[in-house]
């Protein structure tokens, strides 16, 4: 998949991307130097393209730049971190 135009809505604490009229998102909560990844959501119509993975990677890279620890409450995000050990040092 090519790079997506993922936007970061800091007010709503989410990363989102619009593709073919559909919106995919990653929702998080931030506080005390920690980002809790609450959920990822990709509509079925645009699923299977690696969109959730790119949302999680974008969120993790942002958290690393902010020097935050990450708590992947979302099962998809937790699985992503397990499959990408380069983020293991950030997991709380």
Query: What single string gives the DSSP state of each residue in 32-56?
Result: TTEEEEEEEE--GGG-SSSHHHHHH
In sequence order, the 6+-apart residues with CB closer than 8 A to the CB of 45 are 20, 22
* Residue 5 predicted with pLDDT over 90: yes
pLDDT at residue number 2: 58
Question: Stretch 81-89: mean pLDDT, rounded?
Answer: 96
Domain residue ranges in the chain: 1-44+69-78
Structure-block tokens of residue 52? 């959730």
Residue 8, token pair as written in the block:
């970061």
Pick the CATH number of 1-44+69-78 from 3.30.465.10, 3.40.630.30, 3.90.1150.10, 3.40.50.1110: 3.40.630.30
- On the question of pLDDT at 3 being above 90, the answer is no
Average pLDDT across the chain, whole number:
95
Average the pLDDT over 66-91 and give the result. Answer: 96
DSSP 74: S
Give backbone dihedrals phi and psi of 73, rounded to 5 degrees, phi first: -65, -35
């Amino acid at each position: 998949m090519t790079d997506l135009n993922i936007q970061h809505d800091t007010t709503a604490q989410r990363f989102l991307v619009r593709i073919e009229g559909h919106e995919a998102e990653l929702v998080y909560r931030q506080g005390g130097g920690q980002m809790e990844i609450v959920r990822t959501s990709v509509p079925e119509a645009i699923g299977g393209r690696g969109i959730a993975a790119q949302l999680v990677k974008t969120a993790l890279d942002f958290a690393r730049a902010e020097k935050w620890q990450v708590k992947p409450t979302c099962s998809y995000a937790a699985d992503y971190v397990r499959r990408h050990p380069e983020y293991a040092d950030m997991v709380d």
